[in-house]
Amino acid sequence: MTDYGFVPGGTGFDNDARRYLSQRPSSKVIATTAGTIESFATELKASTTVQRPVGNLGIGCHGHPQGVLEIRLDSGSGKLAYFDDVDRAVTSGTIAISTSVLEPRPVVGGSPVAAKFRIVGCSIGAAIPYLVRLKAALGGKVNIVATPHEDLMVGTISIGSTAIVIRMLEYDFRVFTTLGLSFEGEAIGQAGVIDLFAAKYPFWFDGQLIPKEFWKTIVPADVFAEGKISNGVSLDFDPKIGGRKNFGFDFDANIWEHKVERVGSYTVTPPSQNLASSTERREFIRGKIKNRPEFAASHLFPLHKQLGYNTYDEFIDGHDWIAPSRAPDQWGGYRDLYRVKTPVTSPGGSNTPLYDVVSNSSSIGRIGLDESDARLFITV
């Protein structure tokens, strides 16, 4: 059986993901003019070049842990697929994969083996309600496989005359504060940010303790400056790739990032008096937007959970709420995002990454990322 992939984008990541999906064993990539998942589903069903039933399916695109894929679902959707867009696709049926594409399935142990729908893209595996709804939109007959980690595609390495693509995973560590302040309202500083990371992420994926020294080496003294700092890293590949064991990466390896994120704006009737403190502003907006549908208890993936908060009140308290003087009825929430990325390496503290390598050479290739490992990939 042949696997089929679809990568409509044109970024560097997309180009590498396209090569990765096309150069996996027994794999091909489909291109469509429309560039939508709907058109991919149509080609799978109607194209005379597709060998049906297919093996597994895959898409490559940028993803986000709050539940967004940078891909168009159908002819009526935008460039970003949010949860509500996927929810609408369940009703419309536009991206459903036909059973004629998938069946009959191979049988193992007396039971048919469902096709995988592999998402090559960052962190979307952290948004499980999104994946559950996407599975329903795809017709419910495929098992979606996605990672909650960063999906690092490295496609600029040559072994002699052979160009290779390496796929690795990176931790996507994220903490938030309200505009550089602790909950007590004091400047949080480097030590405070380190404490936030250490409290939220005490262990590596294999259960080994993350030493506090790690955070100290990557969190800068000035945590208030916005921007990204990339630190090079050298990793040991075992087995070797084309005779090489060590590879140095000077980008997207050990990353520190700080930026201000905004939610909103929301149109509300301005308060009758100036609200000088952040507490007053939070209490004002708390009652103004609570009844919006994206916060409803019946929502399958309410906005506050998409943004990492368990409750609506945590969401309100996790932002500072501001309306510009030129538009006093437009209120937005602001928070600081502090982010650390570093490669996922083999258990036990080694310097060896977990990785796949593909190429157009039969002598260089390895699929080493274990999609059945629930610490690395989510399957729904």
What pLDDT, in 10s, does the model give residues 152-161?
A: 998 878 888 8
Measured CA to CA, the distance from residue 53 to residue 380 in angstroms comes to 21
Percent of the chain whose pLDDT exceeds 90: 88
Which residue range forms the structural domain that includes residue 129?
Answer: 3-146
The one-character DSSP state at 311 is: S
Let me know: does 159 contact 244? Beta carbons within 8 Å: yes
Q: Is 315 inside any structural domain?
A: no
* Strands 142-146 and 115-120, sheet pairing: parallel
Q: Is 17 inside any structural domain?
A: yes
Q: Between the CA atoms of 72, 380, 28 and 20, what dihedral angle is there, to the nearest 10 degrees?
A: 90
Cβ atoms within 10 Å, residue 132: 14
In this predicted structure, which of 38-52, 177-191, 204-218, 260-274 has the lowest mean pLDDT? 177-191
Q: Is 216 inside any structural domain?
A: no
pLDDT for 180: 61
Q: Is 206 inside any structural domain?
A: no
pLDDT for 350: 87
pLDDT for 183: 45
Q: Is 95 inside any structural domain?
A: yes
**What total number of domains does the chain contain?**
1
Q: Is 177 inside any structural domain?
A: no
Q: Is 47 inside any structural domain?
A: yes
Percent of the chain whose pLDDT exceeds 70: 97
* Per-residue pLDDT reduced to its tens digit, 39-77: 999 999 999 999 999 999 999 999 999 999 999 999 999
pTM of this structure: 0.95
Q: Is 330 inside any structural domain?
A: no
According to the 3-state scheme, what is the secondary structure of 123-173?
Answer: CHHHCHHHHHHHHHHCCCCEEEEECCCEEEEEEEEEECCEEEEEEEEEEEE
Could you give phi then psi for residue 268, rounded to 5 degrees? -140, 160
What mean pLDDT, rounded, does the chain reach? Answer: 94
What CATH number should be reported for the domain holding residue 128? 3.40.50
Q: Rounded mean pLDDT of 174-178? A: 92
Q: Rounded mean pLDDT of 139-167? A: 93
pLDDT for 184: 47
Question: Is it the case that residue 126 has pLDDT exceeding 50?
Answer: yes
Question: Is it the case that residue 316 has pLDDT exceeding 50?
Answer: yes
pLDDT for 54: 98
